[in-house]
């Protein structure tokens, strides 16, 4: 018991150091449930959670990478909802992680609350895809929001739209997934709405804040042209978020043609499920 407690504490310290867990909303998933009784990989553990929610798993090819997709059906709709996750764990103890797959399943839980047809689109090299020959750690480090990443995600989303004969797409992104949602919205003509949660919308400002993130190979949402006024934008931030502070992202949201909606008592992970049905209603109007 004491050893298990020490392992969990170590995971907390690592995650805290790289900035993907908050003191008020700890959400670390211990992958090794029992020492000596086998250890699931992070990707397998994430897939297990998706299976418990009865999501369908598939692997699709983008322009360069393979992507894991978790999807669900929903009420009849001309729009497809796309969910994009955060950066997960790109670093561990100052070294590139072997698998950056998120340990927290927030986006799966949010998608489960969605009554519309929806698909979680895994990022390049995440969810067990890192062994693909196209993968290198730079695609979850310096180039995590780069042109090749955005292009590959864009191709997969277009395929999903064609497969389901959808006319429109609504993009939802948490943290780094929110940054990618904005970059995709500027390139995807079918986009009717984009919703970001706790997103690092200005890479230059955020990299300076974190002090240890080299994002030289990444695109910056704050540097692209404002989004088409026809695209509805909802950018949410938690007032207690110390990973992506709201005060640092307000200017970027304004530049994109919107505003930052700051929710009191929320942080990077907590408590977005409470608000999600209302957010969905706004985005679907």
Q: How confident is the model at residue 83 (pLDDT cuts 50, 70, 90)?
A: very high
Q: Residue 126 in contact with residue 144, Cβ under 8 Å? A: no
Residue 164, class by beta-carbon neighbours within 10 Å (0-12 exposed, 13-18 middle, 19+ buried)? middle
pLDDT tops 70 at residue 28: no
> What number is the average pLDDT over the span 105-122?
98
- Write the DSSP symbol of residue 65: -
Q: Where are the alpha helices (DSSP H) in 105-202?
A: 106-112, 147-164, 176-185
Q: What is the pLDDT of residues 190-246, one digit of tens each?
A: 999 999 999 999 999 999 998 866 899 999 999 999 999 999 999 999 999 999 999
Token duo for residue 155: 């191709």
More confident site: 12 or 197: 197
Q: Which residue segments constitute the domains of the chain, with CATH numbers given?
A: 42-284 (3.40.50.1820)
pLDDT at 4: 34
| Alpha carbon 43 to its chain's center | 15
- Is 149 a residue whose pLDDT tops 80? yes
Say whether 92 sits in a helix, a strand or coil.
strand
Average pLDDT on 175-186 reads 97
Mean pLDDT, residues 244-255 taken together = 97
Which has the minimum average pLDDT: 12-26, 46-60, 75-89, 172-186? 12-26
Q: What are the angstrom distances between the C-alpha of 131 and each of 7, 20, 134, 138?
A: 26, 24, 8, 14
* pLDDT at 274 (0 to 100): 97
pLDDT at 98 exceeding the cut of 50: yes
| pLDDT at 284 (0 to 100) | 82
Answer whether 0.85 is exceeded by the pTM.
yes
pLDDT reported for residue 40: 78
Mean pLDDT over all residues of the chain? 87
With a pLDDT cut of 70, the percent of the chain lying above it is 85
**pLDDT of amino acid 38:** 52
Spell out where the chain has E strands. Answer: 56-61, 66-72, 79-84, 91-92, 95-96, 118-121, 168-174, 191-197, 232-238, 260-263
List the alpha helices (DSSP H) in 141-271.
147-164, 176-185, 203-210, 246-255
Q: Indicate the range of 28-32, 96-100, 182-186, 261-265 predicted with least confidence.
A: 28-32
DSSP character string of 264-285: TT--SSTTHHHHHHHHHHHHH-
Query: Does residue 163 have a pLDDT over 70?
Result: yes
> Residue 134 pLDDT more than 90?
no
Average pLDDT over residues 99-118: 97
Confidence of residue 15 (pLDDT cuts 50, 70, 90): very low
Specify the pLDDT at position 262.
98
């Amino acid at each position: 018991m004491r050893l298990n407690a020490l392992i969990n504490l170590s995971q907390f310290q690592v995650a805290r150091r790289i900035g993907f867990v908050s003191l008020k909303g700890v959400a670390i998933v211990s992958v090794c449930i029992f020492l000596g009784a086998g250890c699931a990989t992070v990707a397998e553990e994430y897939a297990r959670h998706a299976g418990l929610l009865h999501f369908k798993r598939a692997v699709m090819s983008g322009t360069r990478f393979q992507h894991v997709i978790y999807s669900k059906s929903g009420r009849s709709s001309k729009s497809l909802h796309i969910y994009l996750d955060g950066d997960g764990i790109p670093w561990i103890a100052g070294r590139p992680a072997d698998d950056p797959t998120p340990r927290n399943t927030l986006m799966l839980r949010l998608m489960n609350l969605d009554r519309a047809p929806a698909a979680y689109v895994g990022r390049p090299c995440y969810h067990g895809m890192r062994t693909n020959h196209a993968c290198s750690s730079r695609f979850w480090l310096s180039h995590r929001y780069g042109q090749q990443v955005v292009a590959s995600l864009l191709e997969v989303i277009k395929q999903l739209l064609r497969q389901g004969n959808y006319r429109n797409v609504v993009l939802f992104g948490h943290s780094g997934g929110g940054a990618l949602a904005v970059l995709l919205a500027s390139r995807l003509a079918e986009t009717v709405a984009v919703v970001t949660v706790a997103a690092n919308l200005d890479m230059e400002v955020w990299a300076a804040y974190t002090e240890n993130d080299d994002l030289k190979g990444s695109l910056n949402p704050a540097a692209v042209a404002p989004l088409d006024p026809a695209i509805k934008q909802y950018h949410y931030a938690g007032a207690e978020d110390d990973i992506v502070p709201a005060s640092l992202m307000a200017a970027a949201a304004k530049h994109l043609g919107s505003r930052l909606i700051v929710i009191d008592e929320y942080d990077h992970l907590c408590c977005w499920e409470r608000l999600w049905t209302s957010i969905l209603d706004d985005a679907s109007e």
